[in-house]
Amino acid sequence: MIFAEYSHYDGLGLADLVRRGEVSPTDLVDSAIDAIERLNPQVNCVVQQLRDMANTQIKAGLSFGPFRGVPFLVKEFGMHFKGMRSSAGSRLAEGAQMGNDTELMQRCRAAGLVTVGTTTTPEMACNANAESVL
CB atoms within 10 A of CB 65: 16
For helices 25-43 and 11-19, angle between their N-to-C axes, nearest 10 degrees: 150
Q: Please report the pLDDT score of residue 87 as a whole number.
A: 66
Q: Please report the pLDDT score of residue 17 as a whole number.
A: 96
C-alpha–C-alpha distance, residues 52 and 18, integer Å: 20
Q: Please report the pLDDT score of residue 132 as a whole number.
A: 60
Q: What is the pLDDT along the chain (134 residues), one digit of tens a residue?
A: 677 898 999 999 999 999 999 999 999 999 999 999 999 999 988 988 999 999 999 999 999 999 999 999 988 777 767 766 776 666 766 777 766 788 888 999 999 999 999 888 776 666 666 666 65
CB atoms within 10 A of CB 46: 20
CB under 8 A, 24+ apart: contacts of 94-101: 94/134
- Per the confidence metrics, is the pTM higher than 0.85? no
Does residue 125 come out as left (phi exceeding 0), alpha (psi in the -120 to 50 range) or beta? Answer: left
Q: Please report the pLDDT score of residue 65 as a whole number.
A: 96
Backbone angles phi, psi at 11, to 5 degrees: -60, -45
